[in-house]
């Protein structure tokens, strides 16, 4: 490790990258890191990254690493607050950027009150009723308290969609919110090696976890209704293994259709790309989302997308997807059957999706969040 990463000196900006290996938030962190390093260098801002040195991707020599202490503190836990308290004491940053909504209480200490805090709020699922979020009353209360503190105390809140920004503003009229859509990793646009896919034959795919708001039960029920009408397999990738602890109805459907519903869990990136790229359809049945990257990644892979008709996915997917009511099992079943049986319609939908994601990539400023922070730091120096 270079000397520049180990010297205990104040830095301009500290970015929390502890969860870089997770799926959703990890994708966000991995996407932001190179843009953040580029923006910091361009603005002459010193940067430090908080995390486990062994899990972080390759960083520039100028980027300082602040080891998390205690290591492996769970998200939303008291230990996480201890991590931030230690990191603020070591790095003494002028600004702190956290990629999720809990507020660092250590910032309230006299020594840290000048530190500017920025957070990214990906979604407001934690505030939804238990029937959708699966969150207990205590967790929902914690989320509401933290989001209210964010609204009052954060210099700026970043959201990946206007829909999420509107939800944040509904909590309080005070926050400064900047919508910074997440670009699709350019790797998704490159050709895939079909042999890397863990599944062969004809299939439709779902990518994501099995939390209640993902509405996986509806998808599995709708697919089960088609078992004798189409030859396809339903492949569930990402969080499939946790289905057995989620809902007896979901478990029963999966276990009663072992040859038609495959739960393959987490995959390495190359295998996931191949799986999505070889699928005939990617289906996104969510009741709630912050933005929704899997449909965009499928579009970049030239795979047709069916999405639930909720505002945030309408915003993300535009005219690149076809939409269904996330409460209409029969409607989804009919749409899946129609596209599985009609090669021309499926090809046209995939082409629309690819055109949409290409245009979206051109319109997004990947460094918008990083630039906003760096510009404010420069202004505060003047």
Instruction: Name 11's Cβ contacts closer than 8 Å, sequence gap at least 6.
Output: 46, 47, 48, 64, 91, 92, 93, 94
Q: Collapsing DSSP states into helix, strand and coil, what is residue 220?
A: helix
Predicted confidence pLDDT, tens digits, the chain (382 residues) = 444 444 568 999 999 999 998 877 888 999 899 999 999 999 999 999 999 888 888 899 999 999 999 988 998 899 999 999 999 999 999 999 999 999 999 999 998 999 999 999 999 998 988 888 888 899 999 999 999 999 999 999 999 999 999 999 988 767 799 999 989 989 999 998 999 999 999 999 999 888 889 999 999 999 999 988 999 999 999 754 454 445 567 777 878 877 889 888 888 889 999 999 999 999 999 999 998 899 999 999 999 999 999 999 999 999 999 999 999 999 999 999 999 999 999 999 999 999 999 999 999 998 999 999 999 999 877 5
Q: Which residues, including other chains, have CB under 8 Å from residue 377's CB and lie 6 or more apart?
A: 12, 13, 43, 45, 94, 95, 116
What does DSSP assign to residue 112? G
Domain ranges, ordered by start, for the chain: 3-183+364-381, 186-363
CATH 3.40.50.2000 for domain 3-183+364-381: yes
212-244 pLDDT, tens digit per residue, is 899 999 999 999 999 889 999 999 997 544 544
Q: Any residues with CB less than 8 A from the CB of 107 and at least 6 apart, and which? A: 84, 88, 96, 113, 115, 117, 153
- Whether the CB-CB separation of 366 and 35 falls below 8 Å is answered with yes
Predicted pLDDT of residue 21: 85
Strand order across the 64-67 sheet = 64-67, 47-51, 13-16, 95-98, 116-120, 156-159, 177-179
What residues have CB less than 8 Å from 28, skipping those under 6 apart?
99, 120, 122, 160, 182
Q: Which residues contact 142 (CB under 8 A, 6 or more apart)?
A: 76, 126
Assigned CATH for 186-363: 3.40.50.2000
Exposure on the CB side of residue 208, measured as CA atoms within 13 A: 24
Fold match, 3-183+364-381 / 186-363: yes
- Residue 126 DSSP symbol: G
């Amino acid at each position: 490790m270079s000397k520049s990463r180990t010297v205990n000196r104040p830095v301009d900006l500290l970015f929390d990258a502890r969860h870089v290996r997770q799926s959703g938030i990890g994708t966000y962190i991995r996407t932001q890191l190179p843009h953040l390093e580029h923006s910091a260098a361009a603005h002459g801002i010193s940067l430090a990254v908080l995390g486990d040195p062994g899990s972080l991707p390759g960083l520039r020599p100028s980027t300082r690493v602040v080891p998390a202490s205690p290591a492996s503190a769970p998200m939303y836990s008291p230990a996480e607050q201890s991590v931030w308290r230690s990191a603020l004491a070591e790095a003494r940053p002028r600004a702190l950027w956290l990629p999720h909504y809990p507020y660092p209480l250590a910032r309230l200490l006299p020594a840290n009150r000048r530190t500017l805090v920025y957070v990214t709020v990906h979604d407001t699922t934690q505030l939804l009723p238990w029937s959708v979020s699966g969150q207990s009353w205590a967790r929902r209360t914690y989320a509401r308290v933290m989001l209210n503190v964010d609204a009052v105390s954060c210099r700026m809140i970043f959201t990946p969609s206007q829909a999420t920004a509107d939800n944040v503003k509904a909590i309080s009229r005070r926050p400064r919110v900047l919508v910074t859509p997440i670009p699709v990793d350019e790797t998704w646009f490159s050709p895939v090696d079909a042999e890397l896919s863990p599944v062969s034959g004809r299939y439709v795919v779902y990518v994501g976890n099995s939390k209640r708001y993902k509405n996986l039960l509806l998808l599995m029920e709708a697919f089960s209704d088609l078992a004798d009408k189409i030859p396809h397999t339903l492949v569930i990738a990402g969080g499939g293994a946790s289905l057995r602890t989620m809902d007896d109805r979901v478990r029963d459907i999966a276990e009663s259709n072992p040859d038609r519903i495959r739960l393959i869990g987490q995959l390495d990136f190359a295998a996931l790309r191949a799986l999505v790229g070889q699928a005939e359809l990617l289906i996104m049945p969510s009741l709630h989302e912050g933005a929704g990257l899997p449909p965009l990644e499928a579009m970049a892979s030239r795979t047709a997308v069916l999405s639930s008709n909720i505002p945030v996915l309408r915003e993300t997917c535009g005219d690149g997807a076809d939409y269904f009511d996330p409460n209409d099992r029969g409607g989804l079943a009919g749409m899946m059957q129609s596209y599985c049986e009609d090669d021309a319609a499926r090809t046209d939908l995939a082409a629309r999706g690819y055109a949409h994601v290409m245009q979206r990539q051109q319109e997004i400023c990947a460094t918008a969040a990083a630039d906003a922070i760096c510009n404010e730091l420069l202004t505060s120096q003047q």
